[in-house]
């Protein structure tokens, strides 16, 4: 039985080999029977493609699919992005050779001298008549501002208004029917959506009048930073991992619809390069500041409340039957002041401002310093009066002269 099984298996294996060999001989015979001209026709020659042929149509279709929302946005917004070259006056201080020893301070007083330096940055047009937005630090103390467009045209720019604290500047160039970017709504930004940074990193714009585009996503929104060592205030910032480098400051951050959602401003960096953590001022904040800059050329922060306050101590807290010493007590209210108009009374205990808890006088001062408040802003105070908590609305007014 075993012998018959082995003979049957050998017969089947031989049949498979024979049939495969016969099929192979048929295919090779067909090729060898072709003439050289016929063999040449069976080979694909890209040069033989004629316009309008099916293969050309397929190539055109593939090229069309290479375009997408990002490439269309870059093509649409790029003409409105500009490179900015600035001559600035900067102050330098000579270092005391004997450090800061009080004994030698009078012998070697610190000297301050000014020097013209070159700086560069980015900007974008927001109107057909030449209004340009950029960072204030790009044009700070500028004596000359030169703007280059993607068309190769160069314009001298004037500063219409600049706000140091919010780091926003509005410039003007003489032109008509200029390309401009469409401002979007930064309150509608979605974490994870595409973000495209367009600007002039390292001055590359000057080589071929073309902005650099980097692509990433919106990493986070509403990033708040305390007042910087230079005194600037950055609130509600948009975080992106699109590469932002030196020279990108003032450039447009746009979404895949082509709407400007922010202005590239800050990066976290250890050596000056991009680490994929950049921040943009939201466009809604820019709109508010630009509107005031257009109207007055500056932002009015010379406000007052008319309230005098002091810390709560344990004795005051006990006398007022308060559970803790958290908060500050109103000790005086100036007549006709915003505080009086807001309904404050002496002995009111302020517990929170715009839902931010108040522990003591320093927390009030810190809040006012870091919120970038302006004349006309509204504050909601949570107070305790006679044991009951209530809310009062105070509208900041310009300090009387």
Fold category of 73-296 in CATH: Thrombin, subunit H (2.40.10)
pLDDT for res 79: 96
Can you give the pTM of this predicted structure? 0.75
pLDDT for res 98: 53
State the span(s) of the chain assigned CATH 2.30.42.10.
Answer: 303-398
pLDDT for res 105: 57
pLDDT for res 30: 44
Distances (CA, A) of 358 to 159, 312, 353, 382, 383: 39, 11, 7, 9, 10
Q: What is the pLDDT along the chain (401 residues), one digit of tens a residue?
A: 555 566 556 655 565 555 555 655 555 554 455 555 554 544 545 455 455 556 666 666 666 667 889 999 999 999 999 999 998 766 656 665 555 555 555 555 666 655 556 789 999 999 999 999 999 999 998 999 999 999 999 999 999 999 999 999 999 999 999 999 999 999 999 999 999 999 999 888 778 888 999 999 999 999 998 888 888 999 999 999 999 988 999 999 999 999 999 999 998 766 656 677 999 999 999 999 999 999 999 999 999 999 999 999 999 999 999 999 999 999 999 999 999 999 999 999 999 999 999 999 999 998 888 888 999 999 999 999 998 999 999 999 999 87
State the span(s) of the chain assigned CATH 2.40.10.120.
Answer: 73-296
Task: Indicate which residue of 78, 122, 195, 249 is catalytic.
Answer: 249
Query: What is the C-alpha separation between 377 and 166, in angstroms, rounded?
Result: 15
Superfamily the domain 303-398 falls into: PDZ domain (2.30.42.10)
| Cβ-based neighbours of 380, under 8 Å, separated by 6 or more | 353, 354, 355, 391, 392, 393, 394
Query: What is the C-alpha separation between 231 and 377, in angstroms, rounded?
Result: 20
Radius of gyration of the chain (CA): 35
249 catalytic per annotation: yes
pLDDT for res 60: 66
Query: What is the C-alpha separation between 142 and 399, in angstroms, rounded?
Result: 30
Q: Where are the alpha helices (DSSP H) in 151-230?
A: 205-208
pLDDT for res 44: 45
Question: Residue 366, class by beta-carbon neighbours within 10 Å (0-12 exposed, 13-18 middle, 19+ buried)?
Answer: middle
| Cβ-based neighbours of 338, under 8 Å, separated by 6 or more | 304, 305, 306, 394, 395, 396, 397
Cβ 248 vs Cβ 137: under 8 Å: no
CA dihedral for 264, 268, 274, 278, sign (positive or negative): negative
Task: Indicate which residue of 78, 122, 137, 337 is catalytic.
Answer: 137
| Cβ-based neighbours of 139, under 8 Å, separated by 6 or more | 84, 86, 88, 121, 145, 159, 162, 169, 171
137 catalytic per annotation: yes
Task: Indicate which residue of 78, 140, 166, 167 is catalytic.
Answer: 167
CA dihedral for 50, 51, 52, 54, sign (positive or negative): positive
């Amino acid at each position: 039985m075993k012998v018959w099984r082995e003979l049957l298996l050998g017969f089947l294996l031989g049949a498979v080999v024979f049939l495969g060999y016969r099929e192979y001989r048929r295919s090779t015979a067909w090729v060898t029977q072709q003439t050289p001209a016929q063999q040449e026709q069976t080979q694909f020659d890209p040069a033989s493609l004629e316009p309008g042929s099916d293969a050309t149509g397929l190539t055109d279709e593939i090229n069309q699919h290479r375009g997408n929302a990002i490439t269309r946005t870059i093509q649409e917004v790029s003409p409105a992005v500009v490179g900015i070259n600035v001559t600035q006056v900067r102050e330098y201080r000579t270092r005391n050779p004997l450090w800061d020893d009080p004994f030698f301070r009078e012998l070697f007083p610190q000297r301050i001298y000014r020097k013209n330096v070159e700086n560069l940055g980015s900007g974008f047009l927001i109107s057909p008549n030449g209004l340009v937005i950029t960072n204030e630090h790009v044009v700070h103390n500028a004596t000359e501002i030169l703007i280059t467009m993607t068309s190769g045209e160069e314009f001298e720019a004037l500063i219409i208004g600049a706000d140091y604290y919010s780091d926003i500047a509005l410039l003007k160039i003489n032109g008509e029917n200029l390309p401009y970017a469409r401002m979007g709504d930064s309150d509608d930004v979605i974490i994870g959506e595409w973000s495209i940074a367009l600007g002039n990193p390292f001055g590359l714009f000057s080589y071929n009048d073309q902005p650099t585009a980097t692509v990433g996503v919106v990493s986070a929104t509403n990033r708040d930073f305390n007042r910087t060592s230079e005194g600037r205030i950055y609130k509600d910032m948009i975080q992106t991992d699109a590469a932002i480098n030196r020279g990108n400051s003032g450039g447009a951050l746009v979404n895949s619809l082509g709407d400007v959602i922010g202005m590239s401003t800050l990066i976290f960096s250890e050596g000056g390069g991009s680490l994929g953590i950049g921040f943009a001022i939201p466009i809604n904040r820019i709109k508010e500041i630009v509107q005031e800059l257009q109207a007055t050329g500056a932002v009015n922060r010379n406000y007052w409340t008319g309230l005098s306050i002091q810390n709560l101590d344990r004795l005051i807290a006990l006398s007022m039957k308060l559970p803790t010493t958290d908060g500050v007590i109103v000790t005086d209210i100036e007549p006709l002041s915003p505080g009086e108009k807001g309904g404050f009374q002496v002995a009111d205990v302020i517990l929170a401002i715009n839902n931010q808890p108040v522990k003591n006088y320093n927390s009030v001062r810190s809040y006012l310093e870091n919120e970038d408040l302006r004349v006309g802003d509204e504050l909601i105070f949570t107070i305790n009066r006679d044991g009951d908590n209530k809310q009062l609305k105070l509208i900041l007014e310009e300090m009387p002269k």
